[in-house]
Structure 1
Amino acid sequence: MAFTLVSSAVMTHPRRLEQAERIAAELGLDAVVVDPAPDDAPSALRTAIAAWASVRPGASHHLVVQDDLAGPAGLTELVRRSAARHPDEALAFYTHWNSRNGAAVRLAALAGASWVRAVPEEFTPTLAVSLPTATADEFGRHAVASADRHDDEVLSQVLRRTGRMSLLAVPNLVQHVGTASLTGHDVSQGLRRAACLVDAPEVAGWLESGPVLDAVDGLPYLRLGHAHLRVDALAAEPQRRGHSLWWEALPHLGIEPDRVLQLVDERRPVALGAEVSRLFGAAFATELWIHCLLVGLQAPRLARPAEGGFDALGRRLRAAAVATIGIAGLPPESRATVTAGQVSLLTRYAWSAIRLGPLLRARTGTATGQ
């Protein structure tokens, strides 16, 4: 195995220097990199360029984290071991719970995978990312010529050129904390929590040896309260940001939308559905249940569980993934007010559909997959 040495930095703004220094101390990071032009218009990219250029001499990989995360004390060792397994890959250790990449991580957790390939047309979640140093250099060369101010978008541009988007850790290792944003994400996105967060000693070995989902054709995700489905046939152009509603895309998986609506009518739990509808609206309740049916359809198709089924860690991953589906799908302004009891309700409601998802495949006889 090739020699793996990971250098690291936290990127920050002078207004958040104290918390960045605390994060660096807690996680054992090498450097704190401050926005080189803090009085100019806010730009995550400007600071990211400096952070990705702060590679320690001799390092094979570089980890950059942002100043609004919480992570385990052993994060750098987890990153080193992950980079040793995937030496040529960009590795992301967080995914936004209401993104297509977050949906991919949840689906991978349900399928029994430890890594999943990111969606090509979406931003790369840069809260905590490790790159081979050659890729970090390429990012710097591309970024200095960019007029963008979002490092996550620019990193995706770089990775699209290679034809290999980042691998996303399942589970996520770090959590986004707080809601403040120097670039306005607090207004447009609200709470930005991890899609599937588990902190357990077994995670290190799982990331080192667990199965990898290198592609997902038929990714269910929620967007603006509506169930969507990403299929390769409708996303042929990697830079296109098109979105397909579930009923438009489902026939590409060999299933007719009417079968989904039949299950909604016949099998959705009446009491659970009524309570979710009362709290969050009837339209959202229906779209969430349809989304979870599609998750339940696709997870077995992509299944990678060890012989004998899911062990204790696998069950924790599945539980953590499903617990974020409902709350993440709500409007950004609503997420902060959701109670623990309501999260539990949404989780039970999600499971009620996920468990029925295989009926779509079993009763149509047309679906194909792994």
Structure 2
Amino acid sequence: MSAARVSSAVMTHPVRREQAAALSARLGLGGLAMDPDPEGAPSALRTALVAWSAASAEASHHLVVQDDVAAPRELLDLVAGSVARFPDEALIFYTNWHARNGSATRLAALAGAGWVRAVPEEFAPTLAICLPAERAAGFRRFAQDSAERHDDEVMAAFLRTVGRAGLLAVPNVVEHIGTSSINGHAAQGVRLAACPVGAADARPLLCHGWVLEELDWLPYMRYGEGYLRPAGPEALADPRRHTRWQEALPATGLTEGQVRDVARRHRPADAEGEVRRLFGAGFADELWIHCLLLGRQAEDAARRHAPSPRGGRAGGARLRAAALSTVGPAGLSPDRRPEVLPAHAELLAAYAESAVGRGGLLLDDATAGARPGPAPRG
């Protein structure tokens, strides 16, 4: 294939014109894609269609970035290198920290992967997404008559029609800024990246890190409670149903008794007490068990799919630290996230690490080693 040629555009609204122009200039991005009906009902899709139509005729790929992000000056170079490696994929460079895809990104980070296949039934994060030019044109055709206003929902639906969810960059080099939302997401509170990593650490992971294609069951948190996404939920009548971990656990081969026994024997009492004091007993229990299950799945993924025993690559230690730094604050309800001070964030990260590090205790080594899985891509 010839060298990748990436065009780009910044989605924006007149109230953020200056912010978008500054972002475009700093990163060397293309022109601004302005909301064509700024006085109309909020619609990210309306502006997204303008942005995706801005692909240059010579481009092999098109990158769309939203105006309320921060990113390194090397963003275009990182995108170009990723596109050269995965020319036929939808590549996503930001993942929301409290979504299922955010948990998938953390799991992959803890397993040592550089990329992970997105959860197909959930919205596709579109704060910074790059598509092959032909697929961008296909998205415009697919979305042009949609009554949906959320471009991320329509993008996910489009990718389901082509049978391939996007690839999430595990090191999130793009960060969301602010809590305001033209499209009505302000009620979600602070919305940050699941695994924020600088460009220097991200580059080797994006260029050489292995791809976690198979997620199996996925632990995730929302509003202070733990849930499990079962394996293959796209076959269910309601694939987006949120299933509490206790209800979903039997299908994993684990029992609640096993999980609670590990928590009883290995959860650090001092840290548990402090998390309970700050954020409540229920949250302290749910977070530790969520991280225990997350650690179990990350250990399983590394053993089954990583090209080396721990999947280690340059930048991996900082990627793991980034994943652990966000799991606690993201697991809180939106109204409580602003309460997390730096000292609290350190406490929550250490508390999460104490659980993730015990996840291997829930693994049956013989079974885990015997189960076949798809060969990793790298």
TM range (shorter): over 0.9
Counterpart contact for 1:234–1:249, Cα < 8 Å: no
Which letter maps to 2:240?
Answer: R
Partner of 1:280: 279
More divergent stretch after superposition (133-142 vs 340-349): 133-142
State yes or no: 1:182 paired with 2:182: yes
Question: How many angstroms apart in 1 are the aligned matches of 2:48 and 2:72?
Answer: 22
Partner of 1:70: 70
Question: How many angstroms apart in 2 are the aligned matches of 1:262 and 1:78?
Answer: 44
Partner of 1:119: 119
Question: What SS does the aligned partner of 1:192 have?
Answer: coil
Partner of 1:13: 13
Counterpart contact for 1:120–1:239, Cα < 8 Å: no
Q: 1:182 to 1:366 in 2, by over 3 A?
A: same
Partner of 1:321: 323
Question: What SS does the aligned partner of 1:15 have?
Answer: helix
More divergent stretch after superposition (5-14 vs 253-262): 253-262
Which letter maps to 2:352?
Answer: A
- How far apart are residue 2 of structure 1 and its match? 3.3
Question: What SS does the aligned partner of 1:94 have?
Answer: coil
- Cα deviation 1:216-237 (Å, max 9, x = unaligned): 0111100221111112254424
- How far apart are residue 366 of structure 1 and its match? 5.7
Partner of 2:91: 91
Counterpart contact for 2:204–2:313, Cα < 8 Å: no
Question: What SS does the aligned partner of 1:302 have?
Answer: helix
1:1-370 to 2 correspondence within 5 Å? 1-187=1-187, 189-237=188-236, 240-303=239-302, 304=306, 306=308, 310-362=312-364, 369=371
TM-score (norm 1): 0.95
Question: How many angstroms apart in 2 are the aligned matches of 1:202 and 1:269?
Answer: 31
Q: Which runs of 5+ in 2 are unaligned?
A: 374-378
Q: Which runs of 5+ in 1 are unaligned?
A: none
Question: How many angstroms apart in 2 are the aligned matches of 1:4 and 1:309?
Answer: 28
Question: How many angstroms apart in 1 are the aligned matches of 2:136 and 2:273?
Answer: 50
Question: How many angstroms apart in 1 are the aligned matches of 2:264 and 2:289?
Answer: 11
More divergent stretch after superposition (230-239 vs 62-71): 230-239
* Deviating 4+ runs (over 6 angstroms): none
Which letter maps to 2:72?
Answer: P
TM-score (norm 2): 0.93
Question: How many angstroms apart in 1 are the aligned matches of 2:362 and 2:234?
Answer: 23
More divergent stretch after superposition (100-109 vs 306-315): 306-315
Question: What SS does the aligned partner of 1:180 have?
Answer: coil
Which letter maps to 1:79?
Answer: V
Question: What SS does the aligned partner of 2:340 have?
Answer: coil
Question: What SS does the aligned partner of 2:2 have?
Answer: coil
Which letter maps to 1:325?
Answer: V
Question: How many angstroms apart in 1 are the aligned matches of 2:297 and 2:156?
Answer: 25
Which letter maps to 1:274?
Answer: G
Counterpart contact for 2:14–2:34, Cα < 8 Å: yes
Query: RMSD in angstroms over aligned alpha carbons?
Result: 1.7
Which letter maps to 1:224?
Answer: Y
